[in-house]
Amino acid sequence: MFGFLKKSDATPDVSTGAPAGAPINAPAGPRPSWTERLKAGLSRTRAQLGGLFGRRIDEAMLEELETTLLMADVGVEATQYLLDELKAAVRRERLETGEQLRQALGDMLLKLIAPLEQPLDVSGHQPFIIMIAGVNGSGKTTSIGKLAKHFQARGKSVLLAAGDTFRAAAREQLAVWGERNGVTVVAQESGDPAAVIFDAVNAAKARGIDVVLADTAGRLPTQLHLMEEIAKVKRVIAKAEPAAPHEVLLVLDANIGQNALAQVKAFDAAIGVTGLVVTKLDGTAKGGVIAAIARQQPAGHPVALRYIGVGEGIDDLQPFSAREFVDALLGKA
């Protein structure tokens, strides 16, 4: 039987990570703005770069910059592109100071990643069906809850499909999001994930829901049988609603660095990824991976970076802005 899940006493608080019902200390003063949180989240990556810009430009400095970009997981291709562009700018514009180099690097980085900035528009279909995939531990289920809140804040009704039928904790976590936000959760304790999502899509159509967020079980790209299963889930969604899913989001943990590229490639081959969610940028010095993603897009079609996450709070997942990201990454530490 399909149904709605009840909150478990052991389920973590979705906004704080604390056990449900645990006392929450009141925050000391107003919460920082998104821009401030983004800058704080990228501080470890920014710290690697900040020490370079306090001196004059020379060959040794450019070599050190190359090493630093690679350490920040910008990747070989993107690093080479940025260095070639920077060296040309140094000659062309006769740049001399580190601050001039910082500004030039910011301009080039913005040019590189700006194509990733494509806000997700869910107004074209009702229901607008979003399929979410990712490896275990990427922050997928938590991201779904935050996305539900994001769409609700924009006046959209939301339904969650608990397509991860293998992990009870995933279903329970979605149930918490559903309870707190007044969102229906369609779930089944075991069985075929495609059947759960099929039922959820039909329920959303019957109720006039705006957005369906369909969770799927975490899997590694090397688990071929599970990659075949997720491809089946996508086919079943299309049977429930032609042309769906309208968006296929892949959730990536920023801490994995260059492995993100392999994940994008593998999931794109299986299910045709259309957008990315990069989480946990606040816990890594590898924020440069976004530049690597921009430089190595899947063959044949671009993939947008829809959202980035810099914390555990309910509003710590926000639409990606290339300008905000570059300013936070290269701002003075």
**CATH at 214:** 3.40.50.300
The mean of the pLDDT values for the chain is: 85
Q: Give DSSP secondary structure letters for 264-319.
A: HHHHHHHH---EEEEE-GGG-S-TTHHHHHHHSPPTTS--EEEEEE-SSSTT-EEE
136 with 68, same domain: the answer is no
Question: Which of 126-135, 281-290, 300-309 comes out lowest in average pLDDT?
Answer: 281-290
Q: Does the residue 26 lie in any domain? A: no
pLDDT at 275: 97
pLDDT at 170: 75
Q: Does the residue 95 lie in any domain? A: yes
Using DSSP's 3-state secondary structure scheme, residue 63 falls into helix
Specify the DSSP class assigned to residue 238: H
- Nearest Cα to 57, choosing from 104, 122, 9? 104
Q: Which domain holds residue 93?
A: 35-116
- Nearest Cα to 130, choosing from 150, 153, 116? 150
In the predicted model, what is the mean pLDDT of residues 115-120? 96
pLDDT per residue as tens digits for the range 47-78 = 877 777 888 899 999 999 999 999 888 999 99
In the predicted model, what is the mean pLDDT of residues 279-295? 88
Residue 57 sits in a domain of what CATH number?
1.20.120.140
Both structure tokens of 262 = 């392999």
Both structure tokens of 58 = 């020379």
Q: Does the residue 204 lie in any domain? A: yes
In the predicted model, what is the mean pLDDT of residues 228-250? 94
pLDDT band at residue 115 using 50, 70 and 90 as cut-offs: very high
pLDDT at 203: 95
Instruction: Say which residue, 326 or 313, is predicted with more confidence.
Output: 326
144 with 169, same domain: the answer is yes
Both structure tokens of 222 = 């090397």
How many domains, the chain? 2
pLDDT at 9: 35
* CA pair distance 296, 321, nearest whole angstrom: 19
pLDDT score of 81 more than 80: yes
Both structure tokens of 139 = 């922050």
Do residues 302 and 115 lie in contact, with contact meaning Cβ atoms separated by under 8 Å? yes
Q: How many CB atoms lie within 10 A of CB 29?
A: 6
pLDDT score of 36 more than 70: yes
